[in-house]
A and B are shown apart, each in its own frame.
Chain A
Amino acid sequence: MADYVLEVKNIDKVYGQGETEVYALRNLSFSVKRGEFMLIVGSSGSGKSTLLNMIGLLDRPTRGKVIIDGVDTSELNDNELSTFRNTKLGFIFQFSNLLSDLTVLENVTLPRKIQGTVQNSADEAKTLLKTVGLETQMHKFGNQISGGQAQRVAITRALIAKPAVVLADEPTGNLDSVSAETTVQLLKSLNRKLYQTFIIVTHDRHQFGEVDKVVTIKDGRILKEEMEANLA
């Protein structure tokens, strides 16, 4: 039996009611195995970010289920969803979204502080920051580092709580080409090194080269789902 870390089952996301009803997502289903590096691609307005918000439990689908690590998340209340996001999911946003009033180290350890497992978190954060080459920047504030560095900090923050899935929404969308390439390589190496599942939303499929799976979205529907064998 396949080890699925994420299962999306028949989800719809509908905005508005009656005549103003708009389907942002329509009857979407797919699954992701543990350790996979998956892309969700599509043009602007295709619904890929909406889908990521559903998978990231930042928004609820109108219909259907999102099952993460075997847990049907539609059954969870607001507090349980928060806890679930904290322990099972890591987020990387387009605009790094570091808290500018916290230092790099404090930003990275924040998920662990929220979790209440602060023991060794600083040491683990320092190790991760070293992995991404930011060990000298850890005492700077979030707004005192470059965009590329901030995105690497955000990646570290997404990993610190050892989540089941890391979700990234256009992680290179706000970076120059050099930083973007560095970020892509970093994500892929972490995927291999940590056997960490990554689901990445991007409009630039080619930037990521070889990946395990690509789901293409158009008008809220899955246009095609390509596996590694077909991608090669």
Chain B
Amino acid sequence: MDYRAQIGIRFITRRRGSLIAASLAVAIAILVVQVNSVIFQGLYDAIVRDQINYRFGHVYITRQEDYITKSDFMLVNWLERIPYVQAAAPRIDSAASINATIDGKIIRDYSVPVIGVDPVLDKEASTMYQTVGAGGQYVTYRDSVVLGAIVDRDLGFPQVGDNVKLKFKDQFGNDVLRRLTIVGITATAGSVGLDNSVIMNIDTLREILNRPHQTQSILVRLNDPTKDTDVKDLFLAAFPSSADKFKAQTIEESAEQTLSGFRSGIALINLVGYFGMMSSAFAVVTIQMMQVTSKTRDIGVMRAIGAKRKDVLLVFIFQGMVIGAIGAGLGTVMGVTYTAYAKETHMTFQGSLPLEVKYNWTSILQTDIMAFVLAVIASIYPAYKATRLEPVEAMRVG
């Protein structure tokens, strides 16, 4: 082993307090970045997951400025012939004011979003049906409705089998009142506001809105999500926008409005993490300066017996490498342990949104390398100060 590395390693490993303090500073900085990643990247991924599962699919097809008038049956069949497509399902979104009578008391009307789904196709293309809690079922029947948990609470907790009244406006502006039977209540919030929504049969909603055979959107679920752009392009090639005015979007495009805000938030949080890393670098500088002070006499002796200034520099750079390596190793263990904990405990955001926890080895490696490099960079100034010591002075004051 190079003698400068040997001395650097000995200097720091035989000062356990300094080594532990400096390594912990690096490790904690890595842990902060990892925790940020688990929570905020997990939250972001959970939102993407729910947007795909509940709202947009991997590819989301709409018609510019109007409803789709082509047969949804034909469009779904066409899409499902593409090998990458697992399933496709039509949807119509609307809004209605809702009330319920509980124990003879009418709970006041208020407006809710309504999602019209095809109960058969939707089960293949979306996992929204899985949000229905125990004892409930999906909107298989024409006059059935699934209430979001918050809607159910606001209506005084009507049960499965009770009725609710919804007042819609059809496409001509006429009020349409419908009594629907509750067949399920959502138990999972998801990240797309399902708790505040009402799910009903698409054919019933078409009839209410006076839009027979019309569809607002088609969500397409892929068996290979990386092929979303291919499917989008295939669809738009088959149905040129000039004729049909179709609009096809990948999840990044369809959920852009929701995701862009989160992306900015994550960038900000990551910045906080990297500031933490800078703080750890200052801690390394401080500890290394203390090391230089405590080793002044040794530096003087080394210089006296022939070590050059660059040799002294390398001793402390090697020290920084040891601190960086141990800190990075420790930080990785702590970060991975936290990630494993988050994964095993199915960590949720605000108790309702399960985070999408992944072991992001690329990110872990990047963070480790950055922490290691920062520890080395943080050692440069103390190492430089060590090189400026004159041997006689160093041996006298050391």
A-side residues, CB < 8 A to B, are 53, 56, 58-59, 78-79, 82-83, 85-87, 91, 93, 97-102, 106, 110-111, 113-115, 157, 161
B143 at the interface (CB under 8 A from A): no
Q: Is the CB of B306 within 8 A of A56?
A: no
User: Do A157 and B305 have beta carbons less than 8 Å apart?
Assistant: yes
Instruction: Looking at the assembled complex, report how far the CB atom of A82 sits from the nearest CB atom of chain B, in whole angstroms.
Output: 5
Contact B7 A97 (CB under 8 A): no
Q: Of B37-45, B51-59, B163-171, B295-303, which stretch is located at the interface?
A: B295-303
A114 in contact with B3 (CB, 8 Å) = yes
B236 at the interface (CB under 8 A from A): no
Is the beta-carbon distance between A114 and B391 smaller than 8 angstroms? no
The one of A82, A97, A101, A106 in contact with B306, judged by C-beta atoms closer than 8 angstroms, is A82
With A97-B297, A99-B7, A101-B11 known to touch, is A82 a contact of B392 (CB < 8 Å)?
Answer: no
What chain A residues lie within 8 Å of B390 (beta carbons)? 58-59
User: A82 is contacted by which of B6, B11, B14, B303 (Cβ under 8 Å)?
Assistant: B303
Known A79-B309, A93-B395; further 15 A-B contacts with Cβ < 8 A = A56-B304, A58-B392, A59-B390, A79-B308, A82-B309, A83-B306, A85-B306, A87-B306, A99-B7, A100-B298, A102-B10, A111-B306, A114-B3, A114-B302, A161-B306
Which of A83, A85, A99 has the most chain B CB within a 10 Å cutoff? Answer: A99
B309–A78 CB distance below 8 A: yes
Say which size band chain B's interface belongs to: 20 to 34
Q: Is the CB of A114 within 8 A of B392?
A: no
Question: Hey, which bits of chain B sit against chain A, CB under 8 A?
Answer: 3, 6-7, 10-11, 14, 297-298, 300-309, 311, 390-392, 395
Bound Cα distance A119, B300 (Å)? 26
Nearest 4 CB-CB pairings of A with B: A86-B306, A113-B3, A101-B10, A82-B308
Are A53 and B305 in contact, CB atoms less than 8 angstroms apart?
Answer: no
* Cα of A85 to Cα of B305 in the assembled complex, Å: 6
Rounded to whole Å, the gap between the CB of A24 and the closest CB of chain B is: 12
Residue of chain B at shortest CB distance from A88:
B306
Residues of chain B with a CB closer than 8 A to A91's CB: 304-305
A113 and B307 CA atoms in complex are apart in Å by: 10
Distance, CA A171 to CA B378, complexed state (A) = 39
Contacts of B301 in A (CB 8 A): 93, 97-99
DSSP majority for the B interface?
helix
B10 surroundings in chain A (CB, below 8 A): 101-102
B7 — which chain A residues lie within 8 A by C-beta?
A: 99, 101-102
* Complex Cα spacing A143 to B367, Å: 39
- What is the bound-complex CA distance between A100 and B299, given in angstroms? 12
Closest-CB distance, A133 to chain B (whole angstroms)? 23
Distance from A152 Cβ to chain B, minimum over Cβ atoms (Å): 16
The interface centre, meaning the residue of A56, A78, A97 with most chain B CB atoms within 10 A of its CB, is: A97
Give Cα A157–Cα B308 distance, bound, in whole angstroms.
Answer: 18
The 28 sampled A-B contact pairs (Cβ below 8 Å) are A53-B392, A56-B304, A58-B390, A58-B391, A58-B392, A78-B308, A78-B309, A79-B308, A82-B307, A82-B308, A83-B306, A85-B304, A85-B305, A86-B306, A86-B307, A87-B306, A93-B395, A97-B395, A98-B301, A101-B7, A101-B10, A102-B7, A102-B10, A110-B302, A110-B305, A113-B3, A114-B306, A161-B306
Q: In whole angstroms, how far apart are the Cα atoms of A87 and B11 in the complex?
A: 25
Q: Which of chain B's residues have a CB closer than 8 A to the CB of A82?
A: 303, 306-309
| Contact of B14 (CB < 8 Å), options: A83, A85, A101 | A101
Contact of A86 among B6, B298, B305 (CB under 8 A): B305
B283 to chain A, nearest CB (A): 22
Question: B321: shortest Cβ distance to chain A, in Å?
Answer: 17
Given the known inter-chain contacts A78-B309, A79-B308, A85-B305, please indicate yes or no for A110 contacting B3, CB distance below 8 A: yes
A14 to B308, CA, bound (A): 26
Q: Compute how far the CA of A80 lies from the CA of B308 in the bound complex, rounded to whole angstroms.
A: 9
B231 smallest CB distance to A (angstroms): 64
A115 contacts across to B, CB distance below 8 A: 306
**Complex contacts, A100 vs chain B, CB 8 Å:** 298
* Interchain CB contact under 8 A, B309 and A114: no
A35 CB to nearest chain B CB (Å): 22
**B306-A59 in contact (CB<8A):** no
Contacting residues, chain A, for B395 (C-beta < 8 A): 93, 97
Tell me which residues across on chain B come within 8 A of A59, comparing CB atoms.
390, 392
